[in-house]
Structures are given as structure tokens and as C-alpha cells.
Amino acid sequence: MTTVTAIKVAEEKNLSRREQRKMEVRGRINEAALALFGAKGVELTTVEEICESAEVARKTFYNYYSSKQDLIRELSDTMLYDETSNVIELALEKFNSTRERVEYIYGVMVDNLQRYEELERCLVHQALLDLSSENSQIGQRLGDMNAAFSELVRDGLRLGDVSENYSTEFIGEMIVGLINATIINWIHDPSYPVFDRIEEVKRLTLESFLKH
């Protein structure tokens, strides 16, 4: 998981100073929480420690989040979905072939799991819990991920290195489904060979959907 920058300057240009300030404070809280979760673990990190690291009062924290669990829920939403879309967008900018882009995306995925294993588990577990909530946005988020991977495929068709045997939407959905199945198995089985499976998913993606 690469560090999320919660404050996006490009998105702040049309915000009032008050709104920018609120975004900045929320960003500081999120970044402090991520750093502490990564260093100490999610369970051992307290709201007080997050506030101290973010240099905000406890009351200020509760202006943004009702609890630590509420903060984890937002981080789950941001890290698992927004970050994936950002990685795909970066791959589209950095590389000139779909093969390089796919290898980069899966490489980031492996790096995230290796560096932030406990935090990744916690965030994925939170996402699974949110599926049962009537206010869950997971369906929309999955749709966004499908769309992001479909855009990757669509640009590959433009480059001429992606197979035309399947629709872009189908390929995007299959990639997301394979990734999700792999991660869910890993969440429920600590001995699951997640890195081997990710390598196999990458190979299946390259062999099934790219031209040879």
C-alpha cells in the first residue's frame, strides 16, 4: 500500500478556505492513523495516539469520526478502492504497453501486502463487514474498480496488444473477481499462499487477455 495523500491539491482549487482547512485536518488524521497502524498495529493504536501524532484535539477527531472503527471504515474505502484506481491511472501514464501496466499493478499489490500485511487484512475485513450494511457503498466501489480495469483494457485495445475476443467490461470484471477471490481466501486462511496466487492471477491475466 503506497501512502495515501488525503489532501489532493488539484481538488482543493475550488474549495473555500474553510473547506480546505477541514480537508487538511482530515488528511492529517488519516495519515497519522496509517503511520501508527503500520508501526504498532491497528488494535494497539488508540485514538489518543492518533490525535497526538496528527496534532489535533480529541474533540476535533470526533468532529470527523465517531470512533476509531469509523476511521478504519473510511481508510478501507479510500485505500482499497481509490488507491487501486490511482495505481491503474499511474500505470496508464508511465508505461506504453498493457503487459508493463499489468505487471506494475500486480507488483504494487504484492508490495502493499508485504509491507502492510496486518493493516491490509484489517481494511479488507472492514470492507467485507460493510457488505452487510444497508448503507454500504461497496457495490458502487466495485463498479468503480470494474470501470478502472475496463479502461486499462480499453486503452490496450487502442494500443493493439489486448485480445478482441472478449468485451472490455467482461475482462475488467474478471480481473477484479480474480483479485477479490484471492484476497478473500487470504483473509480467511493465514496459511494461504497469497503471493503465489497473485503471481498466478497475473500470469492468467496476461496469457488470457493479451495478444501473443
- Residue 158's pLDDT is 95
pLDDT in tens, 25-57: 998 999 999 889 878 888 889 999 999 999 999
- Residue 156's pLDDT is 96
What's the Rg (C-alpha) of the chain?
19
- Residue 7's pLDDT is 38
- Residue 4's pLDDT is 44
- Residue 185's pLDDT is 92
All residue ranges of the chain with pLDDT < 70 are: 1-15, 130-139
What is the rounded CA–CA span in Å between residue 203 and residue 212? 13
- Residue 138's pLDDT is 66
| pTM of the predicted protein model | 0.77
- Residue 133's pLDDT is 59
- Residue 160's pLDDT is 95
